[in-house]
A and B are shown apart, each in its own frame.
Chain A
Amino acid sequence: MSITAMTSKEVTLKIFNREKLFILDVRNEGDFQDWKIEGENFTHLNVPYFDLLDGVEGILDQIPGDEEILVVCAKEGSSIFVAEMLSEKGLNVSYLQGGMKTWSEHLEPVKVGDLQDGGEIYQFVRIGKGCLSYMAISNGEAAIIDSTRMTEVYTDFAKKMGATIKHVFDTHLHADHISGGRTIAEQTGATYWLPPKDAEEVTFSYSRLEEGNDVWIGHTKIAIQPVYSPGHTIGSTSFVIDDRYLLTGDILFIDSIGRPDLAGKAEDWVVDLRETLYKRYQELSDELIVLPAHFMIVEELNENGSVSEKLGALYARNHGLNIENEADFRKAVTENLPPQPNAYEEIRETNMGKINPDIEKQREMEIGPNRCAVR
Chain B
Amino acid sequence: MDVTKVLDAKGLACPMPIVKTKKAINELESGQILEIHATDKGAKADLAAWAKSTGNELIQSTEEDGVLKFWLKKA
Contact = CB atoms under 8 A, between A and B. Distances in A.
Contacts of B16: 77
B49 A77 contact: no
B37 to A, nearest CB: 18
Most interface-central of A31, A73, A78, A364 (chain B CB within 10 A): A78
Contact of A53 (B19, B41, B45): B19
Contact of A51 (B13, B19, B41, B53): B53
Interface string A70-81: 000111011001
Contacts of B55: none
A101 B37 CA distance: 23
Nearest to B46: A28
Interface residues of A, number: 16
Contact of B15 (A29, A30, A78, A364): A78
Contacts of B22: 50, 53
B50 A48 contact: yes
A77 B14 contact: yes
Interface residues of B, number: 14
Contact of B45 (A28, A51, A78, A364): A28
B11 interface: no
Contact of A48 (B13, B41, B46): B46
A269 interface: no
B34 interface: no
A74 B14 contact: yes
Interface in B20-75: 22, 41-42, 45-46, 49-50, 53
A49 interface: yes
B53 A48 contact: yes
Contacts of A29: 49
B19 to A, nearest CB: 6
Interface string A218-229: 000000000000
Given A50-B15, A77-B16, 20 more contacts: A29-B49, A30-B49, A48-B46, A48-B50, A49-B18, A50-B18, A50-B50, A50-B53, A51-B50, A53-B18, A53-B19, A53-B22, A74-B14, A74-B42, A75-B13, A77-B14, A77-B15, A78-B14, A78-B15, A364-B41
